[in-house]
Every structure is written in structure tokens, then in C-alpha cells.
Amino acid sequence: MDRFPSTPEQLEIGKMLVTELKELGLGDARMSEHGYVFATLPGNLPAGKAPVIGLLAHMDTYPGVSGRNVQPMIHRNYDGKDIVLSDSQVLKISENPDLLNFIGHDIITADGTTLLGADDKAGIAEILEAIERLKAEPARPRPTIRIGFTPDEEVGNGTAHFDLKEFGADFAYTLDGSSAEEVENETFCADTAIVTVTGRDVHPGYAKGKMVSAVNIVAQLIRAIPEGMKPETTEGRQGYLHPTGIEGSVSQAKCTLIIRDFEVSGLKKAEELLSGLADVLMQKNPGAKIEIEIKESYRNMKYDLAKRPEIVDVALAAVERAGKKAKLTSIRGGTDGSRLSAMGLLTPNICGGGKNFHSKQEWIPVSVLEACTQVTTQLVWLWGSKYRD
């Protein structure tokens, strides 16, 4: 797709956010030609003494589940039972045991027909609320804060036109995580494999011994992926090989697969497996041609964050200051921070608060939104205290 951002609705959201940022007193708020929204909350420390810190969240939501005309629902004083969203969507305790940690809390969901969009509009809301609270306590030392709201994170292009110089931060944090306790300094390494199969088409009534069906060969390839390498069978630090789309005909068919692992060596093993499967299938299907193109997506941000561990350490301390038990963890996915860290803007991930991302059963407790906002303000004040006179 040539358009960036990929949907016009993101530009409309960007315009709304520029207006809201200006209403909060951030007069330089603007949206770039590519849909990035940037703004500045000035610090109150001596010029040049403290680093400029970025706070980032993304505007788009997962395109695989509709986010159009979201109808949010607030379940007041949650009673500890299954939550019925619609005739076909029920938040079950058996599938969401974490719900029991929020008995008596208010919980936000959609109505079961769309996703909620807490990924990552929760992060946007928390940043906006944090700005208001930081401005309300002008005597507390704080560095200059650069705000950034990015488009197209969910389709892997969130940093495609991100201008580091224009953003002007020394390092940053994405608010795109789950619980308020978590700080994430590690993501998957990611590649995309595009497998193109060229076959030979003839009339199916006279195909015996002549036809080489590219569609069938793609199906064989997918069936040959070991069960232990699929996303639905892996967890923790296990990587996976995941077919995400098929298109084509008897003459030619393509399959796109995403490859994920916390180590580059794991990616290479999966890619070697894929190449080996292709060789076997070409031997099994004489006349077929299978080509594999590997495209690098992003790399584990831990490789870059290790250069300045204090950026993560201060985030962990902010969680503790907000009254939570900090937990350093990894993401079985990626964030804008993966690419930004590789580009030179070190960017670990902190809380967002949502649960069941990318589904119609997405939910977020109001108390976690509040806790994430507190983590964000404490993060800014901690950095301010490090550089005050």
C-alpha cells in the first residue's frame, strides 16, 4: 500500500489529538505530513542539564478485528462473575482468571461486536492525563518531555517516516504494555518470509501426470510446519513460524509467513527449516519452482537497550514509586520501540493496561488506567530529581 498512514481515519484522530494537546497548553502541537503527532511539555530544569525524554503511543488499532463505531461499556463495581458482552461474546472467568483480581473495580469493554481499542488508545489517554498532572505540579523538577503519537504500528510501519531529529528526544518510552507492574526491555526478533510457488496449469479433466498445482504445494508447505513451531502451541521464550496469508492460483501461489524468536539465531533456524521444506516439496512435485524471500522486520530491542541500562532501571523505580511491585519482562511481539531503539532512540516499553488485545473480548480496568498514569508521572519526576540543582 502506497498510502501512509494506511487509513485516513488515523489522520482524523491525529487532528483531534493536536487540538487536545493545544488545549492542555502544548502550543507547538502539530501533525506531520505522514500523520505523526508531536508536542512538547517544557521542563523546569536548567537548559541543557537534563535529557529530553519521549513518551510515545500509537493511534491505530489492530486491523484484523473491526474498530469502527466502538460502543464502550463500563461494568461498575465488577462482581466476580462472567461478563456478558453480547449473545456471542462472553468474558469467562475460566479464560480470564485475572478478572478475579479486579472484583469491586470498574471494568471497560466494548459491546462484543468490535475490539475496544485499548491497544493503544489506553496509552494515549494515560499520556494526556499525565501531562495534565505534571502541569498541575510545576514546582516538582521535570525534564522536557516530547510527546509522540504514531500511526500504523499495528501493520509494522509505525516508524517508517519517524523523524528522530524532529522528535528531538534523547530516549523514550512507549506506553503499549499490559499491567502497570511490567517494564519490557525485550521484544521478538522478526522477519517475514514470502514463499512463491510456480506450478503448471492444465485442464483439470486431463491433468493426470501434467498439472503441478501451486495452491496444493502451498497447502503442503503449511501442513509440514511442525506443531511445536506454531504460535498456538508456543509460549514464553519459544519462537514460531506463522502463515498469515495465502493468495494465488494453480499456476502461481504465494504464502506470507512471519518468523519470530528472541534471538537472531532462532530466526535463522526457522528460515533454514523453511528452505529445507521447500527443497523437499520441489523433489516431491517435479516441475514446481519454490522461491523464498526473507525481509527483516525488526530486532530484539534488548540488544540496544543494554547500552544504557539506567533507562530501564528508572522505569522500574517509577513502578515502585507508584506503589506496585516492578516486573522486568519481555514482549512476545514488537513495539515501535524495537525499530526506534535500532535507529538510535532507545525506547523500552512500559504499561498500557489492556487485556485480550486484538479481540472483541478486550478489557481494561479503570484502576489500571490510573496506575499506569501514576507510573508515567513518577517516571518523569524521577528523571527530574536526577538532574535538579
Helix (H) or strand (E) holding 39: strand 37-41
CA-closest candidate to residue 193, choices 264, 300, 301, 268: 268
Adjacent-strand bridge partners of 83: 91
Is residue 214 within 8 Å of residue 196, measured between CB atoms? no
Helix 264-284 and helix 214-224, axial crossing angle in degrees, nearest 10: 130
Is-catalytic flag, 182? no
41 φ/ψ angles, rounded to the nearest 5 degrees: -105, 105
Long-range contacts of 88-95 (CB under 8 A, 24+ apart): 88/112, 89/113, 89/360, 89/361, 91/356, 91/361, 91/363
Is 153 catalytic? The answer is: yes
From the candidates 120, 129, 153, 336, which is the catalytic residue?
153
Closest CA to 119 of 335, 300, 328, 302: 335
Q: Where are the alpha helices (DSSP H) in 69-142?
A: 118-135
d(CA 48, CA 273): 52
What lies within 8 Å, CB to CB, of 380 at 6+ separation is 53, 130, 134, 142, 143, 145
Is residue 130 within 8 A of residue 55, CB to CB? The reply is: yes
* 51 burial level (CB within 10 Å; 0-12, 13-18, 19+): middle
Asked if 8 and 110 count as a contact pair (C-beta separation under 8 A), the reply is no
Mapped onto helix, strand or coil, the DSSP state of residue 348 is coil
Site of grid cell 514509586: 321
Do strands 189-198 and 289-298 pair parallel, antiparallel, or not at all (unpaired)? antiparallel
**Active-site residue identified among 60, 119, 184, 336:** 60
Residue corresponding to grid cell 533454514: 272
Catalytic residues: 60, 153
